[in-house]
Amino acid sequence: MSKPLPAATLYYDGRCPLCLREMDKLATLKSDELQLVDIHGILAEPGMPDRDTLLRDLHMRLADGQWLTGVDANVRAWTYAGRGAWLSWLRWPVIRQLADVGYALWAGWRYRRLYGSGDEGANCNH
């Protein structure tokens, strides 16, 4: 039997259709140790990245205060649903680099499509 994971919070963009589909699926499978939080429904807290930063990449805050972003956050999130082993290959050394570049390109495109190229995301009123 594996050791339980410490509590964590995954911050996602609730205005992104793909993000919402993934979070809906994750919500049905995850343990209670993972909290899913829509960035658009929170107030800034000390030690948190600003809203614009949160919108640009997936972010997870672990119980010890450590932050994971991008593919690292996604793989860890699915670990709370018992699916992390299926995605762990994305963290193998050579594949990690490719996955991180691919994610960065996708995340940049997604952000520009939803929020433009400026600071609109930080003050998201649409």
Residue 111, domain member (yes or no):
yes
Length of the chain: 126
88 is a domain residue: yes
Instruction: Tally helices (H) and strands (E) across the chain.
Output: 5, 4
Nearest 5°: phi and psi at 62? -85, 165
- Residues linked to residue 10 through DSSP beta bridges, in sequence order: 36, 60
pTM for the predicted model, two decimal places: 0.87
Tell me, what's the pLDDT at 18?
93
Q: Does residue 1 belong to any structural domain of this protein?
A: no
Q: Has residue 3 been placed in a domain?
A: no
Whether 31 is covered by a domain: the verdict is yes
Give the pLDDT score at 53.
Answer: 95
37 C-beta neighbours (distance < 10 Å), count: 16
Note the Cα 47 to chain centre separation in Å.
17
Determine phi and psi for 74, rounding to 5 degrees: -65, -50
Q: How confident is the model at residue 121 (pLDDT cuts 50, 70, 90)?
A: very low
Tell me whether residue 13 is in a domain.
yes
**pLDDT tens digits, one per residue of 33-57:** 999 999 999 988 888 999 999 999 9
Domain that holds residue 71: 8-123
Residue 2 lies inside a defined structural domain of this protein: no
Q: Report how many domains make up the chain.
A: 1
- Domain membership of residue 75 (yes or no) is yes
For residues 65 and 21, give the distance between their C-alpha atoms in angstroms, rounded to a whole number.
27
Does pLDDT of 31 surpass 50? yes
pLDDT digits (tens, 9 = 90+) for 52-111: 999 999 999 999 999 999 999 999 999 999 998 889 999 999 999 999 999 999 999 999
